[in-house]
Structure 1
Amino acid sequence: MSTKDYLEKDYYAVLGVPKTATADEIKKAYRKLARQYHPDANPGSSKASESTAKFKEVSEAYDILSDTKRRKEYDEARTLFGSGLGGYAGGAGAPRSGGFPFDLGDLFGGTGQQQSGTGERIGDIFGGLFNRGGTSRPGGTATRARRGQDIESEVSLSFSEAVEGTTVSLRLTSSSACTGCGGTGAKAGTTPRVCPTCEGTGAASRNLGNFAFSEPCRDCKGRGLLVDDPCPVCDGSGRGKSTRTIQARIPAGVGDNQRIKLKAKGAPGENGGPAGDLYVQIHVKPHAVFGRTGENLTVTVPVTFTEAALGAEIKVPILKGLPVTLRIPEGTPNGRTFRVRGRGVARKDGTKGDLLATIEVLVPQQLEDKARGALEEFRDATSGGDPRADLIEQARSE
């Protein structure tokens, strides 16, 4: 299949589904058409060739649209070039007046830097569609490298661990080489054979002048090997489940329900492909004393009435280390907040937020006679006016 055919074919129309179709709708449409056009369901020389061609076309469409990544790239490619190739009549170096208004050689492996709307190099889009790249083999062929799966996990941290950062042990389950066959997919005592279609590369190449495209081999599904006697453990897939424990560093300053990405900590790749990523959902346990607002820690500090009225030096706790001394001036009202700089949450640049200390004036619940008498004397000495007079007056004037 040429690049021109690839872009001009409307796989959605082939399956009879809209572009917005879900994966289930695409599968349902494919199964219906596959049963209808399968060669076994259409015997006879007059219909066999037509049904076979239609069956291959339906299968081809399903191969693309059932794969989330390939479907996305297919949609991007068709959006990029419109509904077809128009008057294209050649490869790289074809006259620009008779086809594309640019040199296709720049897009596919050339030096040009044309980009798609997403900022990706256009050649990268087609590289994904036709599986360009891989580990080189003698003779110019390539082994298809596969990226490992991404893994999700979650961890519960104490308040202090989230603020300061910590290292945790995570037990992960992911896909890996089958222990029964060592990843070959073949039953013990047997070996897989090299796929004769792709000669073990896992890719079927298409050469168009200056262009070289490839797609996963349909006979071996991109593995490069065929298994005649499959392993009973993995049913011939060569993959199984493995459990491992890793040490993961959680950076300082993570918040509750935050999802962090640990690059290359996921499942290992195949055929030299990179490992997947690990995504960790963070759960932070509340603290008995401290709270958090962004990069700042918060704490409520109780003071006596006389400390608030006369002023005082008080001790304020911090998350790690000895308390700090805070000077509150006389006449400090209830609820006033003071800032202790550099005692908060670590930032990415290495600095820290602040500690916000809010004053809470304590009112005694019981008074001894001496204390009561002293307060009564204070009341008499400060009974010059009603503190609510202005409030009441404003309420009446509205």
Structure 2
Amino acid sequence: MPKTEVREAAVRGASTRRVAWLLGPAFVAGVAYLDPGNVASNMTAGARFGYLLVWVVVIGNVMAWLIQYLSAKLGIVTGLSLPETLGRRIRSPWGRRAYWLQAELVAMATDIAEVIGGAVALNLLFGVPLVWGGLATGVVSLALLVLQSRGGARPFEFVVIGLVAIIAIGFAYGVFIAPPDGGAVVGGLLPRFEGTDSVLLAASILGATIMPHAIYAHSALARDRFRSGGSDAGFGTRRLLRATRWDVTIAMAIAGTVNLCILLLAAANLAGVPGTDSLEGAHAALAQNLGGMVATLFAVGLLASGLASTSVGAYAGAEIMHGLLRVRVPLVARRLVTLVPALVILAIGVDPTLALVLSQVVLSFGIPFALIPLVAVTARRDVLGEHRNRPLTTAAGVVASVFLVTLNGILLWLVFTGG
């Protein structure tokens, strides 16, 4: 090979490695799309309605791509997270505190769901009592947060990506063992409902998919990796944004595929099986119908889901407080405080699956407070300059916001009216 071709190949290889270095923040934020709340919602949807709500998972993932990209773009271009941006734009101290309070409640609800999911997984795998399982989940998440605070963003990303791989294997394995009906999957892409309960589950799937804390966290993760607008990485802002689109695309493709696999696994093997409206019941039904290996991998995936997502939730909560109140609380201290409500819920004997569902209701309250400001600020020239949203992007963001807020409003109405 001529020397010029060798040099060109070396340059291309170096460029590919440098682009690969930029990947990671979306994988960490994307863990929110693979948390125990997603598992509970998708398993229940598949077990109760078969392939009916496949379209909800697909649409939710498409909207998630747009939302997470806008969040990352804000962090890259401005060097500020969404909470920091809003903290500067909300002039009233009481307004900032009120906004912080709702965002903090959302972050705590997220923490509760993740710890409960980890506790249920340890109980399924090893028979560990739920309280001790929740405590163990909290301890492991503490270790991950120490890694993030002391080792920096990159080692934390590597660990989370490893957990994402475990989650993917754990939840996708059963689909290959017992494949779904291809024609039924295609039929499930047609948007429709079958009664009030299917609307409730559709809203739950979207509420568990597009989480407010993931929006807050992604802007902060991108800021931390590319704080100086790209100079640290040797890339310009435009190239960073192109790499970020790939990052978000890959992360959302993985998250969407895994969520779809969970629903298809339940639709193909648990439809009509009694007792599958809880994680414990679904695990038992999988063991009975598909064997111990599938059930064990399901529990392992649930454990990895709880461990990874609870760390990201604590990171988001700390960023919310810092950005809005300008108070920096150590991640470890915050993790200890937010661990208490989850342990109390487990200790008093609240049904874990019910607690997960209720946590998604709390998250539904927070969606408009994160989503609407995100679309608004990323459309402003005085915030993003030449990188502000194009009119079509803003229009898509508005449509997604209206759809999500409306569906979550329906969810809340159904929950509180018993409809």
Tell me the TM-score range normalised by the shorter chain: under 0.3
Question: Relative to total residues, which structure has the larger helix share, 1 or 2?
Answer: 2
Higher relative contact order structure (alpha carbons within 8 Å, sequence separation ≥ 6): 2
Q: TM-score, normalised by structure 2?
A: 0.21
Q: Who wins on radius of gyration, i.e. which is larger? A: 1
